[in-house]
């Protein structure tokens, strides 16, 4: 981070880019009664006949407040997946640059690298599912633009040690993307408070997990104003639709309900851990800091199929490195978990 220079990381084409200027960019409503004849919309009101706010100001203002951060440090996208794709497109030159991922981890980083023609250097986690910091720093070269850290990590469910992430933030001169999709379930603090200390830090979160809004697609990116400025330049003007903005706003304003649901999920997680622990065919139960549990079993394919036959779908993660014979269980409702546990106890 010492020699960090954002300008050197931005693709030349993005630096030179003159962003599209939309009707809602050129005239920003101050709330007064106006006649809008500037965007070729159908004038008959049905709730969504107007283009949405391209910068989602109402939603950002609430998020900024809740996270004690400036609105200019927030970018919203059509799920984290769009946010991550924008990061690639802003900083990685196709067929030249590379990124680093730490398998076993979230599959989208690799897919997005492929789509964007960016080389993905994979550095396996250690056997206790921690980043191998020395090895990571060894594979960094001048074309390494991004390092993806998922903490709590999917599918291993653990949060990485703070000191390891800190070392990476301090030693890597590209951008460190910390994916905090599961942060609301974690006992660890978010890295958001560290944005002020690390100009190379990007934190992504989502409303898809703890906030219970996977269906509306809303991903959040927090970073320095400079980084957000670059991403704003290349994002599609109306990337977050009106219905999503409204629904997300209602939900983030209802923190009591969200926190209550998280509490219930964590309590259920503990029950599920206890039940899994007592099963003979469960060989390792990994510690979890998320809303799911990774378990090593005797024969994952067999157990997966047995559960399917009982109408329960879990995720078989056995093809992932270090995850041989593992199943990933998302924590469900108390009724669902009770059924799952009863079924698991009956398996032969």
Ligand X SMILES: *Cc1c(COP(=O)(O)O)cnc(C)c1O
Q: How far apart are CA 55 and CA 176, in angstroms?
A: 24
One residue of 55, 106, 191, 198 binding ligand X per CB under 6 A:
106
Q: Which of 48, 196, 214, 342 binds ligand X (CB under 6 A)?
A: 214
Options 52, 79, 104, 131; binder of ligand X; rule CB under 6 A: 79
Which residue sits closest to ligand X, CB atoms considered? 79
Q: Is 325 in the site for ligand X (CB under 6 A)?
A: no
103 makes contact with ligand X (CB under 6 A): no
SS3 track for the chain = CCCCCHHHHCCHHHHHCCCCCCHHHHCCCCCCCCCCCCCCCCCCCCCCCCCCCCCCHHHHHHHHHHHCCCHHHEEEECHHHHHHHHHHHHHCCCCCCEEEECCCCCCHHHHHHHHCCCEEEECCCCCCCCCCHHHHHHHCCCCEEEEEEECCCCCCCCCCCHHHHHHHHHHCCCEEEEECCCHHHCCCCCHHHHCCCCCCEEEEEECCCCCCCHHHCCEEEECCHHHHHHHHHHCCCCCCCHHHHHHHHHHHCCHHHHHHHHHHHHHHHHHHHHHHHCCCCEEEECCCCCCEEEEEECCHHHHHHHHHHCCCCCEECCCCCCCCCEEEEECCCHHHHHHHHHHHHHCC
In the complex with ligand X, which residue's Cβ is closer, 154 or 224? 154
For residues 271 and 80, the answer to whether their CB atoms sit within 8 Å is no
Is residue 304 a contact partner of residue 293, using CB atoms and an 8 Å limit? Answer: no
Least distance between ligand X and beta carbon 90 (Å)? 18
When asked if residue 191 is in the footprint of ligand X (CB under 6 A), the reply is no
User: Between 79 and 174, whose beta carbon lies closer to ligand X?
Assistant: 79
Q: Using CB under 6 A, which of 179, 184, 268, 289 touches ligand X?
A: 179
CB nearer ligand X, residue 179 or residue 184: 179
Q: How many residues bind ligand X (CB under 6 A)?
A: 13
Shortest Å, Cβ 205 to ligand X:
8
Q: Of residues 52, 81, 174, 178, which one binds ligand X by CB under 6 A?
A: 81
Does 294 bind ligand X (CB under 6 A)? Our answer is no
Closer CB to ligand X, residue 110 or residue 310? 110
Select from 154, 156, 200, 337 the one that contacts ligand X (CB under 6 A). Answer: 154
- Stretches 43-51, 63-71, 74-82, 252-260: which one binds ligand X (CB under 6 A)? 74-82
Site stretch for ligand X (CB under 6 A), options 9-17, 79-87, 256-264, 335-343:
79-87
Q: How far is the CB of 153 from ligand X (least distance, A)?
A: 7
Q: Which residues contact 258 (CB under 8 A, 6 or more apart)?
A: 184, 210, 211, 212, 251, 252
283: left (phi over 0), alpha (psi -120 to 50) or beta: alpha
When binding is defined by CB under 6 A, the residue of 150, 178, 228, 294 that contacts ligand X is 150
Please report how close the Cβ of residue 138 comes to ligand X at its closest, in angstroms.
25
Stretch that binds ligand X, among 12-20, 125-133, 207-215, 324-332 (CB under 6 A): 207-215
- Where does this chain touch ligand X (CB under 6 A) — which range of 15-23, 76-84, 233-241, 324-332? 76-84
Strand partners, 119: 98
Check binding of 219 to ligand X (CB under 6 A): yes
Given the complex with ligand X, which of 208 and 245 has the nearer CB atom? Answer: 208
Site residues (CB under 6 A) for ligand X?
79-81, 106, 150, 154, 179, 181, 206, 208-209, 214, 219
């Amino acid at each position: 981070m010492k020699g960090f220079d954002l300008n050197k990381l931005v693709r030349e084409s993005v630096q030179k880019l003159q962003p599209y200027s939309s009707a809602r960019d050129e005239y920003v409503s101050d709330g007064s009664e106006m006649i809008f004849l500037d965007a070729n919309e159908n004038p008959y009101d049905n709730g969504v006949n107007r283009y949405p706010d391209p910068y989602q100001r109402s939603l950002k203002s609430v998020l900024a407040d809740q996270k004690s951060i400036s609105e200019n440090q927030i970018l919203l996208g059509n799920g984290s997946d769009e946010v991550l794709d924008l990061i690639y497109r802003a900083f990685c030159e196709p067929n030249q640059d590379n990124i680093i991922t730490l398998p076993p981890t979230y599959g989208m980083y690799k897919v997005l690298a492929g789509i964007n023609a960016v080389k993905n250097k994979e550095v396996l986690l250690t056997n206790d599912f921690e980043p191998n910091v020395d090895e990571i720093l060894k594979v960094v070269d001048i074309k390494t633009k991004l390092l993806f850290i998922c903490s709590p990590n999917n599918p291993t469910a653990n949060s990485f040690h703070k000191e390891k992430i800190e070392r990476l933030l301090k030693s890597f001169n590209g951008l460190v993307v910390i994916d905090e999709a599961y942060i609301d379930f974690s006992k660890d603090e978010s890295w958001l408070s560290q944005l002020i200390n690390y100009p190379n830090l990007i934190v992504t979160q989502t409303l898809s997990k703890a906030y219970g809004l996977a269906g509306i697609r809303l991903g959040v990116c927090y970073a320095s104003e400079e980084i957000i400025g670059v991403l704003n330049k290349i994002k599609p003007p109306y990337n977050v639709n009106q219905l999503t903005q409204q629904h997300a706003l209602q939900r983030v304003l209802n923190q009591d309900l969200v926190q209550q649901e998280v509490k219930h999920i964590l309590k259920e997680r503990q029950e599920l851990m206890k039940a899994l622990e007592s099963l003979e065919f469960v060989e390792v139960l990994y510690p979890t800091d998320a809303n799911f549990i990774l378990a090593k079993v005797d024969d994952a394919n067999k157990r997966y199929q047995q559960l399917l036959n009982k109408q329960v779908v879990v995720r078989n993660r056995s093809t992932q490195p270090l995850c041989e014979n593992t199943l990933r269980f998302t924590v469900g409702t108390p009724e669902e978990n009770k059924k799952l546990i009863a079924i698991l106890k009956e398996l032969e």
